[in-house]
């Protein structure tokens, strides 16, 4: 194979954007050969491409080698399993599924076909923010031991502002039956993925999710979560779609100093002596360690984002290159989101790993109460294929 023939399922804003990038030749050794959506006039939007209304037909058409899934969240599981079972390489938009049990089903299908093992199918996720130089640098520093043991993590990520018009743009938006959650399932999968990718998974979560605090919606648009790790590290994660201008600031306090990563750059105030060692050895009651103010390059920059993930996906297929974002790692961000929602509704601290079955039962009840329940709506949190194909991913 000299190039990868792509099919894209779901031609809302994300799917169309990916299709245009491939069709423009911006993804080396990739060719867009087929598209799939229920929306009309697709042939006019993508001339020369094979057009499908049914993902199963496209998957079995012989027209594609790889499928990029950009449909509504619930259908990521059903379409992904179908594509994997039919031997296709799969790149799925975030989140890989709505809830942990569906993630487990999708990953089980990938494991069954040997995905992401040499010579087998490639299964990746669109976690494009892993390409951000600052995130990569922080992760590398932590893995190299440059920060020493981490003591506290604070991430305020409230620059996901969305208007009433945004939520009114589709009846499925911000509903339990249509999306399975709010800011945690729609906007924050990237941040939750980065959180676990950089720091690992916590052991306990206590969260407070406000339902429709800023908008007339049935899911969360404001979240404050507290997390604990086995070694005593604690973390606070705050997000919202209702605050403007909003903030994106990650602060990490560690033995060897403090890192701040925000839209102004990457700063590292490094302790000359680790803080606990200094505290135990100094004779003064008020003295603090001497610090070095280090500006860590690269200070700013967005990285290759979506195009880099797609290029890496093609390279993994054709050259065996290591994936930036293996899809099986996507279960972790979903588990964090599920745990935060579950903690808030049960008013309890959730111990991880979360029971996928318990959360699925909880979500099934929320779906039954959803304003988006209609004749086509699913009776289970894993919806039927016809429901999955009913809506474009706007």
| Cβ burial 145-158 (10 Å sphere, 16+ → b, else e) | ebbbebbebebbbb
Please state, in angstroms and rounded to a whole number, the distance separating the CA atoms of residues 63 and 66: 9
Would 4-128+305-325 and 130-295 be classified into the same CATH topology? no
* HEC per residue, 298-357: CCCCCCCHHHHHHHHHHHHHHHCCCCCCEHHHHHHHHHHHHHHHHHHHHCCCEECCCCHH
Domain extents in the chain: 4-128+305-325, 130-295
pLDDT one-digit tens code per residue, 177-191: 999 999 999 999 999
**Average model confidence (pLDDT) across the chain:** 92
pLDDT one-digit tens code per residue, 48-65: 999 999 999 999 999 999
Q: What is the mean pLDDT of residues 124-148?
A: 96
pLDDT one-digit tens code per residue, 145-177: 999 999 999 999 999 999 999 999 877 889 999
The CATH number of the domain covering residues in 130-295:
3.30.360.10
Place of tokens 């991430």: 155
pLDDT at site 173: 87
Task: Report the chain's C-alpha Rg in angstroms.
Answer: 22
Q: How confident is the model at residue 265 (pLDDT cuts 50, 70, 90)?
A: confident
**Is the entire prediction scored with pTM above 0.85?**
yes
pLDDT one-digit tens code per residue, 313-365: 999 999 999 999 999 999 999 999 999 999 999 999 999 999 999 999 999 99
Q: What is the mean pLDDT of residues 184-203?
A: 97
Strands in the chain per DSSP E: 4-9, 30-36, 50-52, 66-69, 89-92, 123-125, 150-157, 204-211, 220-228, 234-240, 248-254, 257-262, 265-271, 291-295, 350-351
The better pLDDT of the pair 22, 12 is held by: 22
The better pLDDT of the pair 357, 373 is held by: 357
Q: How confident is the model at residue 385 (pLDDT cuts 50, 70, 90)?
A: very low
Q: What is the mean pLDDT of residues 216-238?
A: 97
Please state, in angstroms and rounded to a whole number, the distance separating the CA atoms of residues 196 and 132: 15
Q: What is the mean pLDDT of residues 91-106?
A: 98
Q: What is the mean pLDDT of residues 70-87?
A: 96
CA angle centred on 14, ends 13 and 16, rounded to 5°: 65
**Is it the case that residue 375 has pLDDT exceeding 90?**
no
Q: How confident is the model at residue 297 (pLDDT cuts 50, 70, 90)?
A: confident
Sign of the alpha-carbon dihedral angle for 110, 113, 117, 123: negative
Architecture of the structural domain at 4-128+305-325 = 3-Layer(aba) Sandwich (3.40)
Is there a contact between 310 and 89 (Cβ–Cβ < 8 Å)? no
pLDDT at site 390: 37
């Amino acid at each position: 194979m000299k190039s990868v023939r792509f099919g894209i399922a779901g031609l809302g804003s994300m799917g169309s954007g990916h299709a245009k990038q491939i069709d423009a030749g911006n993804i080396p050794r990739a060719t867009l050969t087929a598209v799939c959506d229920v929306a009309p006039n697709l042939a006019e939007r993508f001339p020369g491409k094979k057009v499908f209304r049914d993902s199963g037909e496209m998957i079995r058409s012989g027209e594609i080698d790889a499928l990029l899934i950009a449909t509504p969240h619930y259908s990521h599981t059903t379409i992904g399993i179908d594509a994997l079972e039919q031997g296709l390489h799969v790149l799925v938009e975030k989140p890989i599924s709505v809830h942990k049990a569906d993630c487990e089903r999708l990953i089980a299908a990938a494991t069954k076909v040997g995905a992401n093992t040499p010579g087998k199918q490639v299964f990746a996720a669109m976690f494009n923010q892993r390409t951000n130089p600052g995130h990569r640098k922080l992760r590398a520093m932590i893995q190299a031991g440059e920060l020493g043991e981490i003591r506290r993590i604070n991430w305020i990520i409230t620059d996901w502002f969305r208007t009433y018009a945004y939520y009114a743009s589709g009846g499925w938006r911000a509903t339990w039956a249509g999306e399975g959650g709010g800011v945690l399932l729609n906007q924050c999968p990237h941040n939750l993925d980065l959180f676990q990718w950089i720091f690992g998974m916590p052991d306990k979560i206590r969260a407070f999710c406000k339902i429709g605090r800023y908008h007339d919606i049935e899911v969360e648009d404001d979240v404050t979560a507290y997390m604990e790790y086995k070694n005593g590290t604690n973390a606070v994660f705050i997000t919202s779609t209702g605050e403007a201008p909003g903030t994106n600031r990650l602060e990490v306090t560690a033995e060897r100093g403090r890192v701040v990563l925000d839209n102004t750059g990457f700063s590292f105030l490094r302790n000359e002596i680790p803080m606990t060692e200094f505290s135990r050895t100094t004779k003064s009651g008020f003295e603090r360690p001497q610090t070095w103010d280090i500006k860590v390059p690269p200070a700013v920059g967005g990285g290759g984002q979506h195009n880099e993930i797609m290029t890496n996906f093609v390279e993994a297929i054709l050259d065996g290159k290591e994936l930036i974002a293996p899809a099986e790692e996507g279960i972790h961000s979903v588990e964090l989101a599920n745990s935060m929602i579950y903690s808030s509704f049960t008013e309890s601290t959730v111990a991880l790993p979360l029971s996928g079955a318990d959360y699925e039962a909880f979500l099934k009840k929320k779906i039954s109460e959803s304003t988006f329940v209609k004749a086509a709506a699913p009776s289970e949190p894993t919806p039927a294929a016809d429901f999955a194909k009913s809506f474009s991913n706007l």
